[in-house]
Each structure stands twice: as structure tokens, then as C-alpha cells.
Chain A
Amino acid sequence: MQENNILEVSGLTTEFHTLSGTVRAVNNVSFSLRKGETLGIVGESGCGKSVTALSIMRLLDRRFGHAYGEYIRFQDQDLLTLSDKQIQNVRGNEIAMIFQEPMTALNPVFSIGNQIGEALEKHLGLRGREKKQRCIELLRSVNIPRPEKIVTEYPHQLSGGMRQRVMIAMALSCHPCLLIADEPTTALDVTIQAQILELLQRIIREQAMSVMFITHDLGVIAEMADRVIVMYAGRIMEVVPVRELFAAPAHPYTIGLLHSRPSLVAKGHKLTCIPGMVPSLLDMPPGCPFADRCPRAEADCRSSLPELREIAPGHAVRCFHA
């Protein structure tokens, strides 16, 4: 493991067993996350970005799917080989996760204090008044008004933005060194999204955290990420520093995504869009998964899968013709 990396994933593949067959939701994905870096993972629904996160956290239900690969190195451990007990010590403690839908991620029958306190008790051994005090501090640190009151309230009494703040407080409770944020602002309105993004930026800066930030929104990527992975149909299509993503995108899919944003097109000009749709994971074409929708596709794209190759320092693309 390289010294300045906090996470290295190699050859991660995640399969789900469905009635219609085995689906490969994440296909041979390798990447690394540097210390203190915010790595954005962007793609559309079903591209495997959330499943990648769940696989790293080992949160997949074994009855339906399993993840395998060479290794997932985090600090000095290989997360793939840890026992359930060992991974529980990592989860919520050293790696924390923020989910998309705070209403479903929080338990409706426990109070806010109870839910934040659970991790404090388990990982830090805090009890009683000390635990409650720490909960209140955490809530205050994510700008929740009246934290002494909120600690005793239940998730349904809070608004969406407040619930997401509670989720963030929970994630921060044990000072994790790696934070995985899975579409943390997708369910929120723009003004609340702006509040939450600002809060996350402040926390990431203050605690020098490494972050994996999953989103479908390129605008959020522009705000948050240092480096970006673009995923499509379970594979990494492009790895690129954030400035270069917007200035010189190389993969036709990335270019298509960037051009599909109406906020960048002047009124009266035509939007461009990517024709067609994502191939079914059950019926993947042998070549490049994007070939059928790609304006640059040629015969070689349909017969064999391009390798991820470096075209500039730190900029890799899975395309023959980029």
C-alpha cells in the first residue's frame, strides 16, 4: 500500500443473484483514495456507485449478493478478509457513511440521542451523562438549533435537512478518517442542499477527512470533489482530476453527461443528449458497455473491452478512441 493512500481497492466485483440470473453490478473496479482527498464518484442510477460503497463497507446482504476481488486495503487491513466482528469495529468507527434518504436510514422508534449514542457507547465506551453531553456537542457542531431538545426527539419530528444533519453528526461521532457520503443531498431542496454542502465542506476541512462522495449531480461534484471517477454499467470509464473533468473530459460518456445539463446551454440553443439507454446488466455486450450509445463507436468497440489507460498524468480513460 502506498503511503499517502488511505484506501486501495483492487479488482472489486459485486454480484447479485436474481431470479433472472446473476447480475454483475460492480465489475472489476480498482481505484485508490489519497489521504485528505475528496474523491467524487459520479454516474447514473444502476451504474454501481452505491454498490461499490456498500461493498467496501461490507454491508451487502449475503443472501442476495456478494463482493469479491483482490483486496480492499484500508490502513493496514484488508476489508475483504476481516471477520464480521472485526469489520464491525471499523464500521462507524474508522469508516463512516452518510446515506441518501435520512428518513429511511434513521430508525423511527428510537430518539435522536439514542441513535447517535449507540456508536459512542459501542466504539468509545461512553455512558450516561457523558454520552448525552457528547451527543449534544455533536448536534451543535452540525448547526442544529436547540440541541438539548432535539436529542430527545424522534426522526419524524425533524425536517429533511435536519435529519441529514443528524446523519452527519452520527457519522462524525467517532472521528472517522474515511467518510463515505452516498448522495447526501439528493433528497433535499436546493437551498437546504447548499446548507448541507457548506457544512460538509467545513467539517472535511477541519477534520482533514478523506471522503468518497457519491452523486449523480455534476454540479455537486464541481463543488466538492478533488478527483472524480465516472462509472457506467458497473465499470470505471474515466478517472480524472476535477478541473480536467470539466475542462477536458475524454470519455464520450463523460462528454455526453456534461452536455446533457440544461443549466449550461444558452436559451434557444439545442440541448444535446445521449441517445438510447443503459444496457441491461443481465445482458451485457462483450465490448465496451457504452458502444451502442456512443457517437465514436467503431467495430473494435463492440468486439472487445478497452482497458483503462492513462492519457495524461492522473487522467485515465476506458476508450479506444479518446
Chain B
Amino acid sequence: MDDIILEVNGLSKNFPIRKGIFSRTVGYVRAVSDVSFSMRRGEIFGLVGESGCGKSTTGRTILNLLTPSAGSVVFNGHELFNVERKRRIDPTEMRGLRKEMQIIFQDPYASLDPRMNVGAIISEGMVKHGMYRRAEALERAKELLELCEMPAASIHKYPHEFSGGQRQRIGIARALALEPSFIVGDEPIAALDVSVQAQVLMLLQDLIAKLSLTTLFISHDLGVVRYFCDRIGVMYLGSFVEMADSEALFARPAHPYTQALLSSMPKNTPDEQKQKIILEGDVPSPANPPSGCRFHTRCRCRQEICSQQTPLLREIEPGHCVACHLA
């Protein structure tokens, strides 16, 4: 199909654990293992899961910002890498593609260089990619700021002069400066206050519609993901446990982890009746994940097969995939 913009196949990322004076590798943290999905043009795909489940690593590996350990990613017909076939995109071609794929980071305090003014932050990419000359790029930066509902005069100011919400708008303007077709939002509103979250979320929604962006939206906030995304993938310890259209996922969660996750959301009103599934214990360490189904140590439905065989993601209704032996 030609409207598929991104195809991820069997993506894995391991981080070596090094010890001793010779930094010998003593093991691996399996941050992401065998993740496959594809995105249609214009779609908003949500990656949810708890901290350490590998959602940010997935986003960054797809963007080729981290070296993958296995798998392949095809973006817009260009193969970025295919570890099994030992192929990796040529750096000049990658530079061209960088314009197409941009990222908005979580922490608006750490992701803007405090010594650059806002104009330089936003126009840097445009100048580097030869899209505009410096003066034109600054004009364009003003337009982008206005697009993100910030005064154009902000280009002369520095990041510390802005609040968290305003900085995140600057981060968004920077991501949009190269006119990308695909953006990864890595928890873009997690660090903001509730009322500011709503502002930035509305802005993102408008921009995505206006510029017909394809968006990979990484978040731990189920309420935000339900509202914002068309399709959702739930991750646990580096793998997908369930993937479905947003409405189907919230209406008929099939994986025991998804069910527990959704039931853990606080009540919306004091009178709401909610049966909570309280999970026992903590997430196991990704350096030493459990055998078989990675969730079996905390699962209330576990059976013998769960600790022996890793369940594969299979379709239980059109577009709704679950990795569970029992679902």
C-alpha cells in the first residue's frame, strides 16, 4: 500500500551493561525487543506504557538517533536500516531525510540550548539544510512562532525568559521549521501543568491537522492518548502487548496488562464505580526479563504455558492485535 509512511519490522535495541576497568560487556538491557508496526500517512499513533517500557527508545531508534540491534525501518520508501541484511542508509541521504522526520522532546528545559536565542534555535536547522539564508530563516522563524501562538518578537529572547508551556511551543516551532511530514512527540506535554497541557495539546492537534503530519505520540498518560490518538500500541518491558484503534482499546482491552493499566487510571468523578485491578510488585528488570510472556510474573490469569512460550501478537478482531495466549 502506498499510503504507508512508516514500516517498522522486528525492531530491537539492546544497551550493553559494562563493568570493570576494561568495560567488559557483562549483559544487555533489552530496552526494545521485536517491535513491529506500520503507520498510515496522516495517522496519530500512540505508544503508551510505564517508565522503562522502551517507548522513548523505540521512537529514537526509528528516527535513527540510536543504533538498532535488530530489525528494519522503512520510511517513505527509503530503508533507514536493515540489521539482518547489514544495510544502513547512506549518511548524506539520511541528512536529507532528517528534514522529513523531526522530534519534540519531553523536557522543555533541557532540550533548548540556554546560550542560543530563540531565533537561532528555530532557524539553525533551516540554514543547515540550505532551505533559507539566515535572514530569510529568521523571518520564517517569526512566522513559525506565530503559528505556535507566540509573539514574533520572541526571536530575540533566550529560553530562560519563558515558562514551560512557552518553551514547549518553541520546541514545536523548531520541529516544524524543516517542514517535516513525520514527527515523534516524546512525552511533549508530560512536564507541563494541567491547564498548560490542554493548551499545548490543542495547539498540536491544530498543527497536525493543518500541516497533515503523521505523528508518533509517546506518552504515559492514558487519558491524553485516548483523546489524542487514532491507534494505540501498549508496551510492556520492551514489547507490544496490545495494539488497536483507540476506541476499541478502551472499550474492549484484551490483554491482562492493558486491563490492569486502564483500571489503574484514577476515577474521573468521586461517584464513578470502578473495579480496580491492582498489579502486584514492580516491573521486572529489562536486563533480566522473565521467560515466556514477560508479563506472566504479575499476571492474574497466568497459566503454565505463559512462562514457557512467548506469545506472538495476533489479530483477534480486525485491527486489534494482542500478545497473550489466553486472550
Contact = CB atoms under 8 A, between A and B. Distances in A.
Binding partners A and B: yes
Interface in A80-123: none
B276 A190 contact: no
A272 B227 CA distance: 13
Nearest to B247: A267
Given A216-B193, A260-B195, A243 B202 contact: no
B196 interface: yes
B195 A44 contact: yes
Contacts of B194: 44, 216-218, 257, 260-261
Interface string B241-268: 0000011000000000000110111111
Contact of B198 (A192, A197, A272, A277): A272
Nearest to B268: A264
Residue from the set B194, B247, B264 with the largest chain A CB neighbour count within 10 Å: B194
A273 B266 contact: no
Contacts of B279: 191, 194-195
Given A270-B202, A271-B201, A222 B265 contact: no
B195 A222 contact: no
Interface in B60-104: none
A208 interface: no
B266 A198 contact: no
Contacts of B269: 222, 246-247
A260 B278 contact: no
A54 B38 CA distance: 50
B266 A219 contact: yes
A161 B282 contact: yes
Given A162-B282, A243-B270, A271 B264 contact: no
Nearest to A42: B194
Nearest to A256: B195
A198 B198 CA distance: 28
B325 interface: no
A271 to B, nearest CB: 5
B140 interface: no
Q: Chain B interface: which size bin? A: 35 or more
Contacts of A267: 226-227, 246-247
A145 B205 CA distance: 45
Contacts of B276: 194, 198
Contact of B268 (A44, A45, A145, A263): A263
A189 interface: yes
B267 A219 contact: yes
Interface stretch (B23-31, B120-128, B177-185, B216-224): B216-224
A273 B199 contact: yes
A191 B261 contact: yes
Chain B interface SS verdict (over half) = helix
B272 A263 contact: no
B317 interface: no
A263 to B, nearest CB: 3
Interface in A191-228: 191-195, 197-198, 216-220, 222-223
A271 B227 contact: yes
Contacts of A270: 202
B50 A222 contact: no
Interface string B278-317: 1101100000000000000000000000000000000000
B111 interface: no
Contacts of B264: 190-191, 193-194
A198 B264 CA distance: 10
Interface in B163-198: 163, 165, 193-198
Contact of A262 (B193, B198, B260, B267): B198
A197 B266 contact: yes
Given A45-B193, A267-B246, A222 B282 contact: no
B271 interface: yes
A242 interface: yes
A257 B51 CA distance: 26
Nearest to B166: A277
A222 B51 contact: no
Contact of A191 (B223, B260, B268): B260
B228 interface: yes
Given A222-B268, A242-B270, A263-B227, A273 B220 contact: no
A274 interface: yes
B223 A273 contact: no
A1 interface: no
Contacts of A45: 193
B226 A222 contact: no
Nearest to A185: B266
Nearest to A253: B195
Contacts of A220: 266
A139 B205 CA distance: 46
A263 B226 contact: yes
A259 B201 CA distance: 13
Nearest to B250: A267
Interface in B113-169: 163, 165
A262 B227 contact: yes
B163 A277 contact: yes
Contacts of B196: 44, 277
A275 B265 contact: no
A32 B169 CA distance: 40
Interface string A230-254: 0000000000001100110000000
Given A189-B220, A217-B194, 5 more contacts: A161-B282, A191-B278, A262-B197, A262-B201, A263-B223
5 contacts: A190-B220, A220-B266, A223-B266, A262-B223, A263-B227
